[in-house]
Amino acid sequence: MKKYSTEILSIIESIINKGPRELHAPFFTSYEKFFLNKCISTGVVSSIGNYVNIFEKKISRITKSKFTVAVNSGTSALHLALIAANLKKNEEVLMPAFNFIANANAVSYLGGVPHFVDIEKESLGVDPIKLERYLLKILKKKKGEYFNKNSGRKIKILMVTHIFGHSAKIKEIKKLAKKFNFIVIEDASEALGSFNDKKHLGTFGDIGVLSFNGNKIITTGGGGAILTNKKKYFNRVKSLSTVCKIQHPWNYNYYDVGYNYRMPNINAALGLAQIGNLKNLLLSKRKLFKLYNKRIKNLNWVSLLNEPKKCKSNFWLQTLIISKKNKSLLEFIISRVNKKGIQVRPVWNLINSNKPYRYCPSMNLKNSIEMKDRTINIPSSPGIILSKNERK
């Protein structure tokens, strides 16, 4: 075990050199201070302000999404996406178990029930072939709607997550969703700057979600966005994120229960500075992938997760995949490298291994279980490649 962990440790140490040892540290230049100071000097730092509107326009330009609504986290974005999709209490929502817990939590906020599905091993996203076989077995159709034969609960929403910036098989998944009339919510939280066949991730589904948390490719401190091409979703989400206030210059009236989820102006100011460096950040991530891959491809017991065919990944988190027969090395490697002060981590435990979700319906999760035990994220900060203050 020591031999294998030494191989990985020496590769990581030599590549990160004096760079950040965290999994993903944000990369700031003097622009961020400039934008933040400018925002502070206007006195408009909260949930109304022009930086938020400009930030939304820039995200729409990058993603080619017709509409963008900026909110205060990716989790809030998922929550609002589910309300817009009209999720009702006791309905089931299909989602991968190999996923961040926010997806299941957002469903629970509305009294829905997550129903876990398996992934394929190439992209670590939902497996459309396996899912179709499963759905044909468990669904029954009643008056044009689909129900889980076993629980009797309605299923009308499929959530898909693009993992570590790599595209899931989203075109095939969309075809499948069409067959069953599912609304697709596409979690592209980790995928700003990633494309499938030149189309930005998050714009394939009916509603897409981005996160700008501190560990993402660009950050607004905390933040997220909802992407959609459908006006009805845009109007609903925009209104829900601003407490469902009826527009009026001074009167306060509300047409529904809303949420105070709008992204604050000061966070958007930070985001605008970050967007200005996005191209550079994306180049640095690709370069880092190449550096790691050049070394790791010589090892026969481990590989680096690569971008799927016809896709362009943002390479948000560099990901080691240990060969099946060597998966017992995972714990040892993680522990040894962390002891050296370098942050590496396994992927999340499957969502249904957490207490609130233990008894939720699930298909056979063979690939998810296997890949969870073979996956390690390694340091991926842009600052490993970019020197301080570097922007183009």
- Where do contacts with ligand PLP occur on this chain (CB under 6 A)? 73-75, 100, 102, 161, 187, 189-190, 211, 213, 224
Q: How far is the CB of 38 from ligand PLP (least distance, A)?
A: 24
Question: In the structure, how many helices (H) and strands (E) does the chain have?
Answer: 12, 16
Identify which of residues 74 and 193 has a Cβ nearer to ligand PLP in the complex. Answer: 74
H/E element, 225: strand 224-228
H/E element, 376: strand 375-378
Identify which of residues 47 and 73 has a Cβ nearer to ligand PLP in the complex. Answer: 73
**How many C-beta atoms surround the C-beta of residue 216 within 10 A?**
24
Q: How far is the CB of 320 from ligand PLP (least distance, A)?
A: 18
Residue whose C-alpha is closest to residue 185's, from 202, 200, 201: 202
Identify which of residues 75 and 167 has a Cβ nearer to ligand PLP in the complex. Answer: 75
Q: How far is the CB of 262 from ligand PLP (least distance, A)?
A: 14
Dist. CA 117–CA 129, nearest whole Å: 11
Q: How far is the CB of 215 from ligand PLP (least distance, A)?
A: 7
Token duo for residue 289: 């992938």
Identify which of residues 27 and 147 has a Cβ nearer to ligand PLP in the complex. Answer: 27
Name the phi and psi angles at 382, rounded to 5: -60, -30
Identify which of residues 161 and 362 has a Cβ nearer to ligand PLP in the complex. Answer: 161
Question: Could you tell me if 320 and 375 are in contact, meaning their C-beta atoms sit under 8 angstroms apart?
Answer: yes
Give helix 2-16 / helix 278-296 axis angle, nearest 10°: 150
Identify which of residues 123 and 213 has a Cβ nearer to ligand PLP in the complex. Answer: 213
Dist. CA 12–CA 292, nearest whole Å: 8
Residue 124 Ramachandran class (φ > 0 left, ψ -120 to 50 alpha, else beta): left
Q: How far is the CB of 209 from ligand PLP (least distance, A)?
A: 7
Q: Which residue is nearest to ligand PLP (CB)?
A: 74
324: amino acid identity, one letter? K
Q: How far is the CB of 190 from ligand PLP (least distance, A)?
A: 5
Q: How far is the CB of 100 from ligand PLP (least distance, A)?
A: 4
**How many C-beta atoms surround the C-beta of residue 362 within 10 A?**
18
Q: How far are the Cα atoms of 2, 25, 126 from residue 294, in angstroms, in the given order?
A: 22, 23, 29
Q: How far is the CB of 118 from ligand PLP (least distance, A)?
A: 17
Identify which of residues 102 and 376 has a Cβ nearer to ligand PLP in the complex. Answer: 102
Q: How far is the CB of 267 from ligand PLP (least distance, A)?
A: 11
Dist. CA 253–CA 264, nearest whole Å: 21
Identify which of residues 317 and 322 has a Cβ nearer to ligand PLP in the complex. Answer: 317
Identify which of residues 180 and 261 has a Cβ nearer to ligand PLP in the complex. Answer: 261
Owner of token pair 């499963």: 134
Q: How far is the CB of 213 from ligand PLP (least distance, A)?
A: 4
Dist. CA 56–CA 221, nearest whole Å: 16
CA atoms within 13 A on the CB side of 194: 35
Identify which of residues 100 and 234 has a Cβ nearer to ligand PLP in the complex. Answer: 100
Owner of token pair 């010589």: 298
How far does CA 260 lie from the centroid of its chain? 22
